[in-house]
Structure 1
Amino acid sequence: MMAAGLLLFFGLLCLAGAQDPYNDLPVGYRRGVDLALEKLSSHTTVHHHFRFLRTLDKSGFGVKYLYQHFLLKPTRCAKGTTDSNPQRCPFRNDRPLMDCAVCYKTASDQIEPTPKPYVHCIQKPRVTEEMMNTRTEHCKKMTYNSGAPTLLAVGSG
């Protein structure tokens, strides 16, 4: 009886201490996950609600350009659910993960409309090396084609 009580206590303690990895992301990167989730939700062919699982790669291109490669995992909640609490929307293990890459420009942790944010999500088993390279190249071009003046464009007075 005492062992069962201790087991229950430690189980609840683990649940209380378990953090959602989404909440551990810096705000600027959370915006990118939100953008990918919004795009996925708007597709009629996507039938599941997803939650952020983990970051695979991220970097800032310069001060305001962010790139993030991450996984989303389907949940048991209906598509369109706004509550992503892990206890109320548990992950399901019978559907493939969604592999996403996003890049965008931020100012004060808000996504800027120009250049247009890039979002590419596809089921993980369908990701190819070519897709990965295309994603990276697109994001690299975005940082160089921002229209911002370069040091060479600044004349000496």
Structure 2
Amino acid sequence: MAGVFLLLVGVGTLLGSAGAQEAYDRLPRNFKLGPGNDVIYIYHNFYLKATQCPKGTVDTSNCPFRKNKPEVGCAICYKTIAGKIQASPKPYISCTRKPALTEAMKRKRVNYCNEMGYSSGAPGGLAEIGDTHF
């Protein structure tokens, strides 16, 4: 008897949740996201390399890299809401020629972004960069 009761409760739960899923699917996107869930904090770390093409070249696929100029290591961080970059906190960019770029400078960049309010409050929000953890 208890087994039949549990079976009926399980079937009732599944049928009830199917109706709830349909109602959820009809909600507008903003209601599904909830407050604050469309906020993203971005940290990009990238390198730039000089080419031999003149300024303004659109198709750079045939541009050879210059061997006499070092790479430039850059990092930027910014906040987006609904895919749009926000003015506050102000987006941050830092570029340094690669020979002068140290691990301490890289950590300083991450810490600066966290301190400027890019972190959502969770510890280490921007502290993960690839496989490296600070």
TM-score range, shorter chain: 0.5 to 0.7
Q: Which residue of 2 aligns with 1:134?
A: 108
1:95 is the counterpart of 2:69 = yes
Q: Which residue of 2 aligns with 1:64?
A: 40
1:83 is the counterpart of 2:62 = no
User: Does the Cα contact within 8 Å between 2:113 and 2:119 map onto a contact in 1?
Assistant: no
Give % identity. 41
What TM-score comes out, normalization by structure 2 length? 0.53
Rounded to whole Å, the distance in 2 between the matches of 1:91 and 1:107 is 36
Rounded to whole Å, the distance in 2 between the matches of 1:91 and 1:70 is 16
What is the alpha-carbon root mean square deviation over aligned residues? Answer: 2.4
Q: Which residue of 1 aligns with 2:49?
A: 73
Query: What amino acid maps onto 2:90 in structure 1?
Result: K
Quickly say closer, same or farther: Cα 1:130–1:92, change in 2 above 3 A.
same
Q: Which aligned segments of 4 or more residues in structure 1 are displaced greater than 3 angstroms?
A: none
Structure 2 gap segments, 5+ residues each: 1-37, 122-134
Structure 1 gap segments, 5+ residues each: 1-61, 147-157
Report how far residue 84 of structure 1 moved: 4.8
Q: How many pairs were matched up?
A: 83
Task: Point out the structure with max Rg over C-alpha.
Answer: 2
Q: Which residue of 1 aligns with 2:96?
A: 122
Query: What amino acid maps onto 1:114 in structure 2?
Result: S
